[in-house]
Structure formats: structure tokens, C-alpha cells
Structure 1
């Protein structure tokens, strides 16, 4: 297998000054960075290219959602010769300091997807921390325990070809439903998953924190998504039983599931 080439992929929609800080921190790791501006109207991307020759900026004319931005970014990255994309949120939640650990896992296991397992601090809203347990339960049921420790956490390194393939298998996964649906569909395809404990920080509005999450809208979207995925799981159940467990599950540090 060829030596993997990794880029950090950062989708952004009206993230404000945090975008520049996040991109600068990611560039500081020495890994090339690709930013997808998802129809932003706040001017946060102005002059971004001046940060580094290792930075590529892709601009989408209209806001289409996180999943669509990741898809366009992954396709663009593949065209630039990258084999893997490490997705990071633009709002400062994901630590650039974790990038080298993801890069090491990608280099050791290029066939795998490397998922961050969030390590929350006191800044995390209890509603968000506890609510995600429901999605995690369904994601693991729908994959027969393939090893998705957190279905919603967005800091993940994907091998680009299977990521683009799963996008082609569904018209969904283009907005907030991107992270869990893609995780389940990668598991269905037999892509091994490794989980890395990763700190996460929720910034306050005073710190410039920006959230695109809408409680009613996005939880309704997730409910509909898991209904669809559960039906897909039932259709695939004999194959999922036959193919056995995730071959790299032992590389994920144990925790209380």
C-alpha cells in the first residue's frame, strides 16, 4: 500500500475570528490544511490564503451543510493527491495538538478510519453530553458493535476513497446527520475503526464560540436518520453477523461503554 498522504480538512460557515485561529493552529502541526468555506457571509475567510503555502481554500457559493462541505473537500483533496482527510471543526472545539496522534494512527493503519472519542471538560453542556448517548446506542446497534465510541464527534481521519463511496450511497448525510451516518455506513463497508481519546472544549459566546446546532431541528434529523439506518441494518444483518467484528477494535483504548 502506498504511503498515506494526510490533509487536515476544516469546513467553516460563519465562524468569525475563530476560523483564522483554528487554521493557524492546524498549520502549526506541519500537516497541509484544506479549508472549505461553506457559503460564509461574515468575511471570516478574507486573506486566509496568506497564512501559509501549505493552505488550500475551497469556497462554495452557497451554504450546503457540513456533510456537503466535507464531501466537496474530500473530492478536492483527492485531486491534490491526498489519500486521507482529518476533519476538524472550525470553531475551536477540536485541539490541533491532537493532529500528530491522528497522523501516527493513519500512518500505521491506512486502511482504517480514526475516530476521536471526546474527553469532555466542565465547558461541555450536560444536555449535549447526555443526549449523544442515544445516538451512540443506535449507531452501535446498527453496526453490531463495530466500535463507534462516539457517533457525533467530528474530529476524525478518513481514508478518502471509502468516504466518497459512502456519500454516493445516500442522498442524506449532508448536514448535521453527516457524522453518525457516515460512521455507520463505513462500518457496514467493513472499514476498520480506531478510537482515540481526544479533548474537546466548548467555547462561550464571550470567547467567540459559534454553534450551528439547533436542538429541535437537528434532533429531528437524527431521529429520521436512525430510523433509516435501522431498516438498512435489518437488511444487512445476515452479512454483518457473517463478516465478524472490527479487526482493529483492540487498538481502541478501553472505556465504559
Structure 2
């Protein structure tokens, strides 16, 4: 098993050097995908490659979305020969000390996605908290299961070959819908997800790239597609429940 770290990054500059400094202590390759950031910030990212020898910078010429950046990172990880990829956000939301636990769980269950299950403090915006429960409901419907406890946390370990095989056959969402859709579709393919609690914070000066109108429309359309996909797969999903796969 060989691991790398994937960081999708669109204009997150303020804490990225600190994030990289913490992650570099793990002595793992780091792939940061610059998703069409502003020229000055892109130039700053280039300087980080000299500061961190473990860092590989991949750049999109224009912004494509977080999901597209993660997909680029996963394909890069496969080309590098990595069996597993750890997804980490660039804005400092995640507790990086928990990466060691991610690795431990992944080594124990290498064929599964390992995902954080967020524990929030008072910094979480209430509208985001409520929207998560709506998404949880639809994911449970789309999988006919309660196995996916959180589908929106971007703090994960992916088995690279199984995930890229999915990317090669299905066109997944390229923005905020990606994190949700990939877990549902991997579940349909028999790739389970193991969850563990981890603290997630929302920094006061954090930058959100969520577009209320466009992203909510994209997520609603994604849930529509997944719902009808579930109907087609419902006999198989119900059979798996009978056989004890999933909850």
C-alpha cells in the first residue's frame, strides 16, 4: 500500500503553507491541484514547490470546480503508482492530526473509502448544518441504506484504482456535488465507506466557494439522477441488505 495526499485548491492562500508544513511531516507525496486560481496566488503556489520537496503542483488553466480538481488529483495519484489517496481541504478546516487515524483505518480495510464524520463546534453556519441533513436523507434513499453516515466531508482516503475505474465509466459532478455522488456510486459498486468522528471548524476568515444558486441546482439534479439510478439498482441493493452488506 502506497499513499499520497490530494489537496484541491482554488485561491486558498492564507493557511496553505501551514497545512503543507503539517502534512509534510508524514513524509508522503502531496499533490496540490491549483484549480485556476488568480495569477498572483498561482505564482505563490509555485514558490511552495521549492519550499516543500514532497509537493507536486498540477494546474488547471481555468477554474473547473472542487470535484474536477479531486478527479485530476486521483488520476495523478494513479500515474504516480499510489494505491490510496488522502483528500484534504486547503482551508484548514480539517484536523490534520487525524490523518494518522485515517491511515490506520485504511490499512485495516484497504478496499474501503475511509471518511471523516464531522463533529462541529459553534463556528459551523446553521444553514450548512441543516442542508447536510437534507443530503443525508437523499443519500439514504439512493443507497437504500444508512451505511453512508456523511457524504459531504472532504477528508477521506480513496482506494485509487477502484475510484479511477469509476471515473473512467461515469461522468461525475465537477463541483460541490462530487463528494456526495462519488460515495453513492462507489457504494453501488460494492465499495464501502468506513467513518470515524473528526472535528471540523469554519475559520472566521475562511473563503467559501459554494455558489448558492448554481451549486444547489447541480446538487438537486444530481440527487434526481441518483434516485432514478437507485430505482434501476433497487433489486440488487435490497439483495445486498438481505445478505448483510450495508446497514
User: With structure 2 as the length reference, what TM-score do the two structures score?
Assistant: 0.93
Displacement of 1:245: 7.3
Which is further off, 79-88 or 60-69? 60-69
**Gap regions ≥5 residues in structure 2:** none
Alignment of 1:80-91 (within 5 A): 80-91=80-91
Q: Could you say which structure has the higher helix fraction?
A: 2
- Deviation per residue, 1:105-141 (Å, 9 max, x gap): 1111111110110010111111101111001111111
Alignment of 1:111-122 (within 5 A): 111-122=111-122
Q: Does residue 25 of structure 2 align to residue 23 of structure 1?
A: no
Q: Which residue of 2 aligns with 1:139?
A: 139
Q: Does residue 234 of structure 2 align to residue 237 of structure 1?
A: yes
Q: Does residue 29 of structure 2 align to residue 32 of structure 1?
A: yes
Residues 189 and 171 (structure 1 numbering): CA distance in 2 closer, same or farther, change over 3 Å? same
Q: Distance in 2 between matches of 1:40 and 1:31?
A: 24
**Gap regions ≥5 residues in structure 1:** 251-257
- Deviation per residue, 1:18-68 (Å, 9 max, x gap): 222222222123333111111111334131112332222212222111111
Q: Is the 8 A contact 1:85 1:160 kept in 2?
A: yes
Q: Which residue of 2 aligns with 1:67?
A: 67
Q: Distance in 2 between matches of 1:197 and 1:230?
A: 28
Residues 229 and 249 (structure 1 numbering): CA distance in 2 closer, same or farther, change over 3 Å? closer
Q: Which residue of 1 aligns with 2:166?
A: 166
Which is further off, 84-93 or 62-71? 62-71
Displacement of 1:249: 6.0
Taking only aligned residues, the RMSD between alpha carbons, in angstroms, comes to 1.8
